[in-house]
């Protein structure tokens, strides 16, 4: 394990991810992310964007691919509701001899080594944890670990991005943090040609017939704004191929439908009907704030109310 000394404290560093990925098609979000990380002058600073999109649409893959395109190591910090401020920076570990050693998080390691940090699923993390990162993501570019009693200045090559899901199982990130995580880069559903390329690249052993069925299915779902993703497509194809291998004589379309129904649910077999039902239920249900349990949306007293409903859920 690589170690460095900061303010006389020895820090054990985290390991970068080994994955190599290829980003296929969809050049616009990749261009935007790489643009955020450019500095146009020596007085300029990189931006730390939020990569936004439905689960399984390619957010983490995009961030890794962008880091690789810059030739930098990548460190992934998986954020959860239980992530504590010290998990993000330095964690004390008790050794067998009763000595305390200090372990730098993947994020802090990236900052020290001038690598790329991905804060994965950042919107699952509570405000208290975000607060410890304010200085790292503004023009100070430094982080203070209370646990180790050290201050770490980020390397000039340090870059970061936050991935965020568009689902309801999330915390609201406070405005002062959001203002440091700009801009938002949205990953749209892929166009037909790109989706076919992504699926063929991910599953080069699949038959053309099943790939076609899956792309037709996903494109129709995207058109109806159903949140089925590339990852869902990969899972459906994988399962359909396995079913076919175990029952070679079976009808491919039937096996494909079985895979859809077991992976996305029986409702997903009739996507027109499913889209209508979802629409009636109000589409993708947004996250709730505490105020929503006590006040109606338009009530002046509601601290979370926004006059523009689009802005509110945006």
Chain positions contacting ligand ATP, by CB under 6 A: 22-26, 53, 55-61, 163, 165, 198, 202, 230-231, 234
- Residue with Cβ nearer ligand ATP (234 or 275): 234
Helix, strand or coil, per DSSP, at residue 10: strand
Strand partners, 9: 6
CB 267 to ligand ATP: min, Å:
21
Convert 126-142 to b/e letters by CB count within 10 Å (16 or more is b).
Answer: beebbebbebbbeeebe
Candidates 229, 209, 210; CA nearest to 219 is 229
The encoded tokens of residue 30 equal: 């990749």
Sign of CA dihedral 298, 304, 308, 314: negative
| CB 272 within 8 Å of CB 282 | no
Query: Which partner, ligand ATP, Mg ion, none, binds residue 25 by CB below 5 to 8 Å per kind?
Result: ligand ATP
Closer of 51 and 136 to Mg ion (Cβ)? 51
Map tokens 């709730």 to a residue. 288
Least distance in angstroms from the C-beta of 20 to ligand ATP? 11
228 binds, among ligand ATP, Mg ion, none (CB under 5 to 8 A by kind): none
Q: How many Cβ atoms sit within 10 Å of the Cβ of residue 174? A: 12
- How far is residue 161's CA from residue 293's CA, in Å, rounded to a whole number? 32
- Smaller CB separation from Mg ion, 7 or 22: 22
CB of 65 to Mg ion, least distance (A): 13
**Out of ligand ATP, Mg ion, none, which partner does residue 202 contact, by CB within 5 to 8 A per kind?**
ligand ATP
Residue 26, binding choice from ligand ATP, Mg ion, none, Cβ under 5 to 8 Å by partner class:
ligand ATP
Q: In whole angstroms, how close is the CB of 313 to ligand ATP at the nearest point?
A: 18
Shortest distance, position 57 Cβ to Mg ion, whole Å: 9
Q: Which residue is nearest to ligand ATP (CB)?
A: 58
According to the binding rule CB under 5 A, does residue 123 interact with Mg ion? no
Contact 100, 92 (CB under 8 A): yes
Residues 38-77: x where in contact with Mg ion by CB under 5 A, - otherwise, as a string: ---------------------xx-----------------
d(CA 174, CA 160): 19
67 is in the binding site of which of Mg ion, ligand ATP, none (Cβ under 5 to 8 A by kind)?
A: none
**CB of 285: closest distance to ligand ATP in angstroms?**
17
User: Which residue is listed with tokens 């801009």?
Assistant: 183
Nearest CB to ligand ATP, comparing residues 20 and 281:
20
H/E segment holding residue 116: strand 116-120
Contact (CB, 8 A) for 92 and 147: yes
**198 contact choice in Mg ion, ligand ATP, none (CB below 5 to 8 Å, kind-dependent):** ligand ATP
Q: Which residues bind Mg ion (CB under 5 A)?
A: 59-60
């Amino acid at each position: 394990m690589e170690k460095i000394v900061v303010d006389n404290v020895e820090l054990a560093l985290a390991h970068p991810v080994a994955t190599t990925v290829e980003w296929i098609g969809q050049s616009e979000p990749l261009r935007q992310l790489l643009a955020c990380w450019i500095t146009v002058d020596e007085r300029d600073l990189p931006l730390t964007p939020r990569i936004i999109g439905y689960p399984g649409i390619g957010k983490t893959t995009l961030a890794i691919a962008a880091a690789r395109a810059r030739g930098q190591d990548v460190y992934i910090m998986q954020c959860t509701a239980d992530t504590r401020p010290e998990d993000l920076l330095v964690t004390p570990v008790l050794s067998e001899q009763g000595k305390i050693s200090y372990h730098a998080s993947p994020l802090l390691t990236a900052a020290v080594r001038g690598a790329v940090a991905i804060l994965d699923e950042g919107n699952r993390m509570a405000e208290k944890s975000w607060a410890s990162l304010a200085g790292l993501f503004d023009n100070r570019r430094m982080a203070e670990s209370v646990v180790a009693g050290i201050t770490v200045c980020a390397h000039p090559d340090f870059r970061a991005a936050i991935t965020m899901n568009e689902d309801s199982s999330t915390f609201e990130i406070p405005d002062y943090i959001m203002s440091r995580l700009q801009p938002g880069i949205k990953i749209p559903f892929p166009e037909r040609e790109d989706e076919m390329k992504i699926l063929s690249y991910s599953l080069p052993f699949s038959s053309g017939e099943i790939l076609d069925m899956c792309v037709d299915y996903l494109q129709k779902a995207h058109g109806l704004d159903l949140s089925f993703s590339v990852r869902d497509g990969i899972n459906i194809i994988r399962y359909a191929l396995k079913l076919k291998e175990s029952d070679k004589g079976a009808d491919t379309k039937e096996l494909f439908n079985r895979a859809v129904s077991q992976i996305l649910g029986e409702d997903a077999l009739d996507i027109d009907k499913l889209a209508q039902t979802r629409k009636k239920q109000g589409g993708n249900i947004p996250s709730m704030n505490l105020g929503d349990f006590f006040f109606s949306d338009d009530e002046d007293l509601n601290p979370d109310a926004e006059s523009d409903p689009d802005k509110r859920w945006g």
